[in-house]
């Protein structure tokens, strides 16, 4: 199989880069670092556009809103900051967590933010006003990951207690608990067809039907690695995962679709495997050079 080459290497600061995100238009790359700053890069040229400062500790997570007008950051300083993308102005500082905030996510409709951290808590915030809406308590260990459903009706959270919790956002729904991972649940993503993917430090990706509360697939490679990121394609047919140990995998329902946006989000590591989600066969293997 032909190699996939890195066309625009970025040169972030020497301190560790903890997270990166593409803007919805795929024209800006956002990275966050242990130096407490966020960096915005032009995707086409890899030029540094701006540096956003304000956090007083390492920035653990960063994410764009669905329309790209805002981005949010979660920090070891126990705060979440919301920034306006065009001006890089900080419009909200969200406080309430007592320990490092490890995850932040926007709802698809842009109305809410969710944050979780080492205090085992999940907070829901009004994205426009910055007010705290709800505090969600169920995890018995640090909350490492979060993701809203594509219709913004529910929120999934993953934890060091090895569970995934799915919360309805209307107030009265039962909390759904999904169990099976043997390690920290480090990443989550909903598909447009109602599936939820969870990646764990146990080296596996699990795909769940939230409606039936069952695990549909357990996806794992030949090597034991820490899964760090999962992302569905827009049509929900392909799932890509990245892992510590320099591996990116894709899992697909069909053999014929190409999914540029999913691949663009994940070509940061050194391998891509294409998997058939029906029988688990590896359809294709690509070598990928480093972006950073």
Q: How confident is the model at residue 277 (pLDDT cuts 50, 70, 90)?
A: low
Reading the block at residue 257, the tokens are 């679709």
Give the percent of the chain with pLDDT over 90.
Answer: 61
Q: Distance between CA atoms of 229 and 68, rounded to whole angstroms?
A: 20
274, pLDDT greater than 90: no
Question: Lowest-confidence range among 37-46, 57-66, 247-256?
Answer: 247-256
203, pLDDT greater than 80: yes
Radius of gyration from C-alpha coordinates of the chain? 18
Across all residues in the chain, what is the average pLDDT?
A: 84
Stated length of the chain: 292
Tell me the mean pLDDT in the region 80-109.
Answer: 98
Instruction: Between 195 and 261, name the one with better pLDDT.
Output: 195
Sheet containing 48-52: give its strands across.
17-22, 28-33, 38-42, 48-52
Tell me the mean pLDDT in the region 220-233.
Answer: 74
Q: How confident is the model at residue 16 (pLDDT cuts 50, 70, 90)?
A: confident
Instruction: Between 275 and 10, name the one with better pLDDT.
Output: 10
112, pLDDT greater than 90: yes
234, pLDDT greater than 70: yes
Residue 278, pLDDT score: 56
Residue 260, pLDDT score: 38
Residue 266, pLDDT score: 38
Contacts of 177 (CB under 8 A, 6+ apart): 138, 163, 164, 165, 166
Q: Distance between CA atoms of 107 and 265, rounded to whole angstroms?
A: 19
**Ramachandran area for residue 278 (φ above 0: left; ψ -120 to 50: alpha; else beta):** alpha
In order of their start, the domains of the chain are 16-137 (2.130.10.10), 159-292 (2.130.10.10)
């Amino acid at each position: 199989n032909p190699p996939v080459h890195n066309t625009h290497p970025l040169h972030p600061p020497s301190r560790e880069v903890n997270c990166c995100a593409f803007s919805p238009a795929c024209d800006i790359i956002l990275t966050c670092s242990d130096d407490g700053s966020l960096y915005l890069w032009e995707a086409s040229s890899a030029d540094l556009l701006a540096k956003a400062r304000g956090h007083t500790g390492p920035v653990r997570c960063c994410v764009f809103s669905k329309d790209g007008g805002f981005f949010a950051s979660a920090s070891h300083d126990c705060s979440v900051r919301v920034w306006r993308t065009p001006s890089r102005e900080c419009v909200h500082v969200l406080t309430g967590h007592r320990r490092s905030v490890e995850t932040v996510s926007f709802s698809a409709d842009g109305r809410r933010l969710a944050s979780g951290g080492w205090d085992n808590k999940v907070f829901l915030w009004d994205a426009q006003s910055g007010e705290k809406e709800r505090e969600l308590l169920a995890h018995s260990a640090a909350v490492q990951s979060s993701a809203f459903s594509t219709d913004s009706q529910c929120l999934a959270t993953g934890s060091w207690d090895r569970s995934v919790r799915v919360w309805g956002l209307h107030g009265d729904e039962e909390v759904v608990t999904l169990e099976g991972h043997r390690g920290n649940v480090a990443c989550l993503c909903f598909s447009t067809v109602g599936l939820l993917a969870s990646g764990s430090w146990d080296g596996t990706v699990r795909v769940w039907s939230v409606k039936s509360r069952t695990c549909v697939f357990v996806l794992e490679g030949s090597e034991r690695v820490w899964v760090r990121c999962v992302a569905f394609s827009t049509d929900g047919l392909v799932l890509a995962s990245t892992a510590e140990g320099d591996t990116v995998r894709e899992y697909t329902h069909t053999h014929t679709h190409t999914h540029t946006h999913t691949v663009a989000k994940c070509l940061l590591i050194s391998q891509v495997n294409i998997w058939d989600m029906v029988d688990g066969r590896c359809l294709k293997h690509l070598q990928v050079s480093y972006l950073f």
